[in-house]
Chain A
């Protein structure tokens, strides 16, 4: 009897929760606007869909224990009574192993395959290369294909501008370009654009690549998640180690490149 009541309540609550998740809260992971971010977003939602009934099952059993035993429950429970003895334990183990295997295969392995494929050199011949240098505490962006050494906005702050739907190869280094011989110069940072849904640590003495593609235009001004944010503590300046990002159309990007090149020339001649 208890078993049936619990089962019905649990199934009902799970259905309700899944509906609520799919229709109300599914934007929880934030607004993600890159190919990698969209993978993370779908993975997040899939994991939630699997976990919700499990969560309700366990917490339901906990709540069930809190309910006072009904007076009409004439048969006093035998002290050894368990939910149909070993069957429950076996089902439980098989169930948890199955759920974990499922979650490992999908999303983890499937997604990783896609990410690995996106990183193959063959798929990145025509990327826009952006050299990212992290130093305490500044992000420096340079565009070697356009001979731009450091891009800044009108206020003179470092600025990252990315054309939409074009694969980008970020080359990440942690070093101080102003003291290149100091081996103790820099520390670990982490290159993170919250709206892109991916981050990669930047380690002194290593060069790493991160491949992403933005899927829609956006700007820090309208969406504060479109920013570069250091995500690994790197000293007192860490909270402010950020830079605004703009994702623009190809045409706007070309115009921006020209402007930057003009500025660079005028700075050089000064």
Chain B
């Protein structure tokens, strides 16, 4: 069994520790490319760096970093059909390298999030220090304070709030909870992890380039005027968003394809439902925000004049919140799911209204894309306010279903008040306040008063810290025995829980008040009448910060020295408790078979079993089960198509922007002859590839290779013409229309370069003796990618050149 469990390669070659090598390659990449660009294209102020050289240098550094931490051996060489010269590390070294075990990746994500939380938390402590005084005294200038706000918010959002419960516990627990032995794209997720430290470091270094002032939303046109630091905000967010995209792709595919036999959709655990819904949100909206940030970056470098008075400033705000609101549900939905995962176990009582709770998660997901404009009530036509406030108020109905299930289960239960159980109740309570303050914000007349005041800051910290961070800590205690095999100290756990609960509520309830009294956001200085309340907030905030540190210390202590835990200390019924603690590398000695509902108590029939015979029976009688080779193959294909589908989103955004900005530009003449040539070469290249695909079943290596070469050459010609189109500058650059035109060209260019790279790798692979017919998938994938992006390129080309 378990033929896919990775065997460490026997030929071991000693290399530098991966993280060290990553830093080295990143540094070399940065210096080389930065120097090259700054020399070729000098000017713009600084002699050694320009914003262009920084951007390209950073890109090279990121590539160097990823290759250095292991992508070189584990991704690039295999693409060319070369076997990796080193195997995976063992022992603690696994955590500092390229790890394909989802449990290692999960712990890596959790550690990264915790470190990011510490870093951004320290910044918050400094901000609270500044706010003890009505005048500026701690930071050197208001710009520095605003840069601190931006770095704090960005890191907290993109490396903590949307990561800890998804990349962290999602990676660790979801495969265990569905009885899978591995995830579908282990190498992708190993790679994606290392984008988080890269992104966090990038954002943290941004003040070196100048104090940017926009905060985490990067509103335009302020962003394009800000000092250079905002460059590293765009780039860092791009890296972290990629990480979440890869996590989501991997988990969604795993959930769809790798469930244990008998684990039907209605039986799916609550937490898995939560992760499933939000990974779908991520896949939809992360590409959208990435293209938006790329546009902002280009707007700054070129400039494109898309988002200032010449274009449409509001377009950027809308694009931001279209993503931004679903983002907040990516943060809290896993927390909702956790409540109902932990409460029935701690109460040993059947989960009440389970189907309602699941329905709630799904409806929240569906509605989350429809309420975004409530962030823009101060920018709205009257007629738009009423529907958006309606939808916003109504989203509390499905949210309430999470409460309904939790409270119904708690009712008259013998709730075991362990630390995670207590923290879950605190999360419920805090989120109740966070959600109820949202009801005020949904009413436009009230919102027009409290919008952009500290009331809003308190509201979102109540939902994020109060709801999500408390649930995260609860999950840490709940799954600690599973991950480490050790228990924590119950007394300390509860005391510390109480500590953060009290300090959190003091700090943030006072923050509501200070907002109601007229204190606005993003201010390092304020009118003196607000000082006493701010003092209370700061003291409580420091206590809160200390409380988080103590929790971290307690968890680390318990992990290493805590009393040993039994395999199933809480008497949980979901699948992760069916294996040992900590689980073996392949998760389950035998694949479990699910026969019942995990959340029904009061019966002695277990919901799942690991009977080998029954599993064998299933395998023989039913469709291919999870983990089997055909199933994994199907999963890979499905995931790959999903990946291609989300690549469409940037083009849709660009198209939408063209229509939104219609009033702002004069469509100008593009070079139609060049466009015709581009389409011709692309079409020929596609036809030739299509014939290669058709030749695959005949296993005719030589003819396949010939056709691949042919389409490679045509692709290069296409790229050359595309470059001409760019250099030719038929469309004036500094106009919104030009901006969208060249951005679309640029993205086509990027996709084509990737496609050519993959195609080249395939050609090399066949040259090196890979027989296409034996393992057709890599070739098919390369071809599909090329077909897909070629078709998109042609369609957009058509759109721009003729429509």
Contacts and interface: CB of A to CB of B under 8 A. Distances in A.
Contact of A233 (B215, B382, B393, B429): B215
Interface string A106-118: 0111011001100
B389 interface: yes
B701 interface: no
B517 interface: yes
A62 B313 contact: no
Interface in A235-254: 235-240
B46 interface: no
Closest 3 CB pairs of A and B: A79-B602, A194-B518, A205-B309
Interface of A: 2, 28-30, 32, 36-37, 39-40, 43-44, 47, 51, 54-55, 58-59, 61-62, 64-66, 69, 76-83, 86, 88-89, 92-93, 96-97, 100, 103-104, 107-109, 111-112, 115-116, 119, 175, 183-188, 190, 192, 194-195, 197-201, 203-205, 224-225, 227, 229-240
A6 to B, nearest CB: 9
Contacts of B521: 231, 233
Contacts of A88: 352-353, 404, 408
Interface string B604-625: 0000000000000000000000
Contacts of A59: 429, 432
A225 B410 contact: no
B96 interface: no
Contacts of B103: none
B408 A188 contact: no
B446 A47 contact: yes
B303, B444, B448, B525 interface centre (most CB from chain A within 10 Å) = B448
A225 B432 CA distance: 30
A79 B432 contact: no
Given A79-B350, A183-B309, A224-B529, A55 B432 contact: yes
Contact of B221 (A187, A194, A239): A187
B225 A104 contact: no
A119 B525 CA distance: 35
Contacts of A227: 527
Interface string B387-414: 0011001101100110110011111111
B68 to A, nearest CB: 37
Nearest to B397: A96
B321 to A, nearest CB: 13
B523 A234 contact: no
A231 B432 contact: no
Contacts of A224: 518, 527, 529
Contacts of A116: 382
Contact of A238 (B313, B404, B522, B601): B522
B226 interface: yes
A30 B529 CA distance: 13
B789 interface: no
Contact of A2 (B219, B408, B412, B414): B412
A112 B386 contact: yes
B352 A82 contact: yes
B60 interface: no
B522 A233 contact: yes
Contact of A198 (B396, B449, B452): B449
Contacts of A199: 378, 448-449, 451-452
Nearest to A60: B407
Given A231-B452, A239-B523, 12 more contacts: A80-B600, A93-B356, A100-B397, A103-B443, A112-B386, A112-B445, A192-B520, A199-B449, A203-B314, A231-B451, A233-B215, A238-B142
A199 B211 CA distance: 27
Contacts of A80: 349-350, 600-602
A86 B352 CA distance: 9
A43 B446 contact: yes
A11 B314 CA distance: 47
Contacts of A229: 518, 520
A112 B385 contact: yes
B646 to A, nearest CB: 30
Given A40-B449, A92-B404, A236 B443 contact: no
A89 B404 contact: yes
Contact of B452 (A79, A119, A232): A232
Nearest to B142: A236
A188 B527 CA distance: 22
Nearest to A46: B443
Contacts of B403: 58
Contacts, number: 253
Contacts of B444: 108, 111-112
B353 A66 contact: no
Contacts of A36: 445, 448
Contact of B313 (A89, A192, A203, A237): A203
Contacts of A54: 436
Nearest to B518: A194
Nearest to A204: B309
Contacts of B417: 66
B526 A239 contact: yes
A79 B445 contact: no
A65 B415 contact: yes
B602 A82 contact: no
B379 A77 contact: no
B223 to A, nearest CB: 9
B244 interface: no
Interface in B421-446: 425, 428-429, 432-433, 436, 439-440, 442-446
Nearest to B149: A233
Contacts of A204: 221, 308-309, 313
Nearest to B223: A187
B348 interface: yes
Contacts of A28: 513, 516
Given A104-B389, A194-B518, A236-B143, A184 B308 contact: yes
Contacts of B393: 100, 103-104, 108
Contact of A236 (B141, B314, B348, B440): B141
B579 interface: no
B449 A81 contact: no
29 contacts: A2-B411, A59-B432, A65-B413, A69-B414, A76-B414, A80-B600, A80-B602, A81-B349, A81-B411, A88-B408, A89-B356, A97-B397, A100-B393, A104-B393, A108-B390, A108-B393, A183-B305, A183-B308, A184-B303, A185-B309, A186-B309, A187-B222, A199-B378, A205-B312, A236-B146, A236-B211, A238-B522, A239-B522, A239-B526
B243 interface: no
Contacts of A233: 146, 213-215, 219, 222, 521-522
B224 interface: yes
Interface in B301-323: 303, 305, 308-310, 312-314
Contact of B436 (A55, A66, A119, A188): A55
B226 A235 contact: yes
Contacts of B390: 104, 108
Nearest to A194: B518
A81 B413 CA distance: 8
Contacts of A175: 309
A188 B213 contact: no
Given A36-B448, A47-B440, A119 B382 contact: yes
B453 interface: yes
A53 B3 CA distance: 58
Nearest to B407: A61
B412 A77 contact: yes
A11 B523 CA distance: 42
A58 B432 contact: yes
A236 B215 CA distance: 11
Nearest to A174: B309
A100 B396 contact: yes
- A29, A66, A188 interface centre (most CB from chain B within 10 Å): A188
A230 B452 CA distance: 10
Give the residue among B146, B403, B513, B520 with the most A Cβ atoms within 10 A: B520
B782 interface: no
B124 interface: no
